[in-house]
Structure 1
Amino acid sequence: MRTVDVAATDLQALAGALDEMSARRLEAGAQRARHLLAGRRVWNVSATERGGVGELLRALLPYAAGAGVDVRWLVVDGDPGYDDLTARLTHAMHGDAGDGGGLGAEEMAHYEQILERNLAEVRDAVSPGDVVILHDPATAGLAAGLRRRGAHVIWRSHVGADVPDEVSERAWTFLEPFLADAERVVLTRAVYRPGFLDRATVRVIAPSIDPLSPKNRPLEPSAVTELLRGAGILDGGSADGPSSASRASSVVAAGGPVPADARVVLQLSRWDRLKDMTGLLIAFDESFEELPPGTHLVLAGAEVDSRDTAGAEVLSRCLQMWEGLEAEVRSCVHVLCLPNITEHNALLVNAVQRLATVVVQKSLAEGFGLTVAEALWKGRPVVATAVGGIQDQITDGENGLLVRDATDLQGLMRHVARLLAEPAFADQLGAAARDRVQREFLSDRHLLQYVDLLAELLS
Structure 2
Amino acid sequence: MLPEVRLGRRAALLTCQLDNYRLIVGDDVMDEIYELAAHLKGLHVCQINSTAYGGGVAELLPRLIPALDTLGIRSDWRLIHGPPEFFTVTKSIHNALQGKAHDLSEAEQALYLHVNEQSAKLLGHDYDVIIVHDPQPAALRHFAGARQAKWVWRCHIDSSHPYEPVSQFLLPFVSQYDATVFTMPEFILPGLEVSRVVCEPPAIDPLATKNMELPLDVCKRAMADSGVNPANPVILQVSRFDPWKDPLGVVQAYQLVKQRIPTVQLVFIGAMAGDDPEGWTLMDQVEEESAKDPDIFIFTNLGGVGNAEVNMFQRGCDVVVQKSIREGFGLVVSEAFWKEKPVVAGRAGGIPMQFPQEFHRFLIDNIEDCAERIAHLLERPGERGTFGRAGKEHVRQRFLLPRLVRDVLRLLTSLVS
TM-score > 0.5 by shorter chain: yes
Matching residue of 2:249 = 279
Pair 1:176 & 2:137 matched: no
Structure 1 pair 21–425 and aligned structure 2 pair: CA distance change class (3 A):
closer
The equivalent residue for 2:72 is 68
SS of the residue corresponding to residue 2 of structure 1 reads coil
Aligned residue for 1:384, secondary structure, equals strand
Computing the radius of gyration over CA atoms, which structure comes out larger, 1 or 2?
1
Aligned to 2:39, the other structure's residue is in SS state helix
Contact 2:234 2:264 in 1 (8 A): yes
Return the alpha-carbon distance in structure 2 between the equivalents of residues 13 and 223 of structure 1: 27
For 1:225, which of 220, 225, 236 is the aligned residue? 220
Q: Which residue of 1 aligns with 2:339?
A: 378
Q: Distance in 1 between matches of 2:125 and 2:37?
A: 19
Cα 1:399–1:376 change in 2 (3 A) is farther
Deviation at 1:286? 3.1
> 1:53 pairs with 49, 53, 57, which one?
57
Deviation at 1:432, TM superposition (A): 0.5
RMSD between superposed Cα atoms in Å: 2.3
1:78 aligned residue: 82
Partner of 1:409: 367
3-state DSSP of counterpart to 1:335: strand
The SS at the match of 2:142 is helix
- Partners of 1:332 and 1:419 lie apart in 2 by 19
Residue type of the alignment partner of 1:113: H
Quick one: distance in 2 between partners of 1:10 and 1:445?
16
Determine if contact 1:265/1:357 at 8 Å carries over to the other structure.
Answer: yes
Structure 1 counterpart of 2:148, which letter? G
Give the direction of change, closer, same or farther, for the CA distance of 1:309–1:142 in structure 2 (3 Å limit).
Answer: closer
* CA shift in 2, pair 1:384/1:62, >3 Å: same
Residue type at the aligned position of 1:288: K
- 1:457 counterpart SS class: helix
1:226: Cα distance to partner? 4.2
Residues 1:215 and 2:210 aligned together: yes
User: Aligned partners of 2:361 and 2:17: how far apart in 1?
Assistant: 29
Could you report, residue by residue, the CA deviation over 1:406-450 in whole angstroms, capped at 9, with x for unpaired residues? xx2111111111111111111100000000111100010011011
Following superposition of structure 1 onto structure 2, how do residues 97-176 of structure 1 map, counting pairs within 5 Å?
A: 97=101, 100=102, 102-122=103-123, 125-127=124-126, 130-161=128-159, 164=161, 167=163, 169-176=164-171
What do the CA deviations read for 1:28-85 (whole angstroms, capped 9, x no partner)? 42342242343x3111011111221111101110111111111111111111121111
- Counterparts of 2:89 and 2:19, CA distance in 1: 41
Contact 1:77 1:118 in 2 (8 A): yes
Q: 1 CA distance for matches of 2:26 and 2:241?
A: 36
Hey, what does 1:314 align to over in structure 2? 282
Secondary structure of 1:107 counterpart: helix
Amino acid at match of 1:160: D
The higher-RCO structure (CA 8 Å, 6+ apart) is 2
Distance change >3 Å, CA 71–CA 152, structure 1 → 2: same
Deviations 1:179-232 (A, max 9, x none): 121000000121111232247421100011111111111111233234334xx3
Q: Is this contact kept in 1: 2:205–2:401, CA < 8 A? A: yes
Aligned length, in residue pairs: 412
Q: 1:298 to 1:20 in 2, by over 3 A?
A: closer
Match of 2:231 in 1: 261
1:446 to 371, 382, 404: 404
The amino acid across from 1:180 in the alignment is: S
Distance 2:213 2:358 in 1: 26
Please say which of residues 177-186 and 25-34 is displaced more in the overlay: 25-34
Structure 2 counterparts to residues 237-386 of structure 1, below 5 A: 257-291=227-261, 293-302=262-271, 308-324=276-292, 330-339=293-302, 345-386=306-347
SS of the equivalent of 1:18 reads: helix
Is residue 87–residue 276 contact of structure 2 (8 Å, CA) maintained in 1? Answer: no
Aligned amino acid, residue 171 of structure 1: V
Residues 21 and 362 from structure 1, CA distance in 2 versus in 1: closer, same or farther, beyond 3 angstroms? closer
Q: For 2:4, what is the secondary structure of its paired residue?
A: strand
Residue aligning to 1:33: 37
CA distance in 2, matches of 1:314, 1:335: 12
Assess, with a 3 A threshold, how the Cα gap between structure 1 residues 303 and 28 changes in structure 2: closer, same or farther: closer
Aligned to 2:355: 394
Tell whether the 8 Å contact from 1:302 to 1:340 is kept in structure 2 after alignment.
no
Tell me the distance in 2 between the aligned counterparts of 1:400 and 1:338: 32
Instruction: Tell me, in whole angstroms, the C-alpha distance in 2 between the residues paired with 1:143 and 1:76.
Output: 13
Which ranges of structure 1 fall in alignment gaps of 5 or more residues? 234-256, 325-329
Residue pair 1:161, 1:365 contacting (<8 A) in 2 also:
no
Give the direction of change, closer, same or farther, for the CA distance of 1:399–1:355 in structure 2 (3 Å limit): farther
**How big is the shift at 1:340?**
7.0
Cα contact 1:157–1:186 (8 A) shared by 2: yes
Aligned residue number for residue 253 of structure 1: none
Normalized against structure 1, the TM-score is what?
A: 0.84
Inter-partner Cα distance in structure 1 for 2:273 and 2:120: 29
Query: TM-score scaled to structure 2, two decimals?
Result: 0.92
Distance 1:303 1:57, change over 3 A: closer
Say if 2:25 and 2:396, in contact at 8 Å, map to a contact too. no
C-alpha displacement of 1:12: 6.2
